[in-house]
């Protein structure tokens, strides 16, 4: 696929291929109801011809109540068990919401390691391209039942960046509970919203705290910046904003923090 470079939010609505990543805290527990509005925004983009890939965290958080767990487990085996149960429920919830738009989801389970292995990477790319060609909406999640290191770090932000590079997406949208990136944690005095990040800006003078609800997600602002930089350096524009603003984000409204992509 020939990819055009998105230099600003103005081109978002015309983007041909978009990856959207949502974090655990945005679509699990008390926020499980946000799946409906998220799906509606994805369906609107899908309806105007955009090829949409969703990278969704939340398997562990979704599975926790079924294992009678009040807090995210700390041992790997229980995390894997919660993920095995939660992934099934999570995909059902997405498909249930997609049904009203006549859209079929396709589940794709990966690890970051899969995308670093040439053979696995080629297989994943071929499968993803075929799903998109069939107008299926791929829902990607880390394969938490077999992942080790990746299950505990990044909350799928790096995976989303790697997927956007894999499919040569024009835009990656990283969703969390905060409307944008700030120069310091947004609850602190003096925090200033970062509107645009030029090519090569490492945001080295910015102080980052955590993003998202404590105890559920594992990704923070720093992991989002790292993932955004990875994708932007490979030619994919990145928008970081909140899950509640996903409709505005995909419509090109002036929300969130926009990373200008490097010419790849």
Question: Average pLDDT of 35-42?
Answer: 98
119 contact partners, CB below 8 Å, separation of at least 6? none
With helix as H, strand as E and coil as C, how does 182-228 read?
ECCCCCCCCCCECCEECCCCCCCCCCCCCCCCCCCCCCCHHHHHHHH
Q: Is 244 annotated as a binding residue?
A: no
Q: Is the pLDDT of residue 217 over 60?
A: no
Q: Is 21 annotated as a binding residue?
A: yes
φ/ψ bin of 68: left (φ > 0), alpha (ψ from -120 to 50), beta (otherwise): left
- What residue ranges do the domains of the chain occupy? 9-259
Q: Is the pLDDT of residue 218 over 50?
A: no
Domain 9-259 has CATH 3.30.1360.120: no
pLDDT in tens, 145-156: 777 655 444 568
Q: Is the pLDDT of residue 259 over 70?
A: yes
pLDDT in tens, 116-162: 889 999 999 999 999 999 999 999 998 877 776 554 445 689 999 99
Q: Is 4 annotated as a binding residue?
A: no
Q: Is 8 annotated as a binding residue?
A: no
Can you spell out the DSSP letters for 64-102?
A: GGGGT-SS---SHHHHHHHHHHHHHHHHHHHHHHHGGGT
Q: Is 176 annotated as a binding residue?
A: yes
| Paired tokens of 218 | 């594992």
Q: Is 144 annotated as a binding residue?
A: yes
- Could you tell me which residue, 241 or 177, shows the higher pLDDT? 241
pTM: 0.93
| Paired tokens of 77 | 């085996």
Q: Is the pLDDT of residue 86 over 80?
A: yes
pLDDT in tens, 163-176: 999 999 999 999 98
Q: Is the pLDDT of residue 85 over 70?
A: yes
């Amino acid at each position: 696929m020939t990819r055009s470079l998105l230099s600003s939010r103005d081109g978002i609505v015309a983007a041909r291929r978009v990856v959207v990543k949502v974090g655990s805290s945005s679509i699990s527990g008390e926020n499980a109801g946000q799946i409906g509005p998220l799906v509606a925004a994805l369906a609107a983009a899908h309806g105007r011809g955009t090829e949409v890939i969703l990278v969704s965290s939340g398997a562990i958080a979704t599975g926790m109540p079924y294992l009678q767990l009040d807090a995210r487990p700390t041992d790997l085996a229980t995390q894997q068990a919660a993920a095995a149960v939660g992934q099934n429920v999570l995909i059902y919830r997405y498909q249930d919401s997609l049904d009203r738009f006549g859209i079929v989801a396709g589940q794709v389970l990966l690890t970051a390691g899969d995308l670093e292995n040439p053979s696995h990477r080629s297989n994943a790319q071929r499968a993803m391209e075929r799903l998109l060609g069939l107008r299926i909406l791929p829902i990607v999640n880390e394969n938490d039942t077999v992942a080790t290191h990746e299950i505990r770090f990044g909350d799928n932000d790096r995976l989303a960046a790697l997927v956007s590079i894999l499919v040569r997406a024009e835009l990656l949208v990283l969703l969390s509970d905060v409307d944008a990136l700030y120069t310091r944690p947004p609850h602190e005095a003096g925090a200033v919203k970062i509107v645009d990040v030029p090519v090569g800006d490492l945001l080295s003078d910015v102080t980052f705290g955590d993003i998202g609800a404590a105890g559920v997600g594992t990704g923070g602002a720093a992991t989002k910046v790292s993932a955004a930089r990875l994708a932007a350096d490979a030619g994919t524009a990145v928008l970081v904003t909140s899950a509640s603003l996903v409709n505005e984000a995909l419509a090109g409204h002036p929300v969130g923090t926009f990373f200008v992509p490097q010419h790849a």
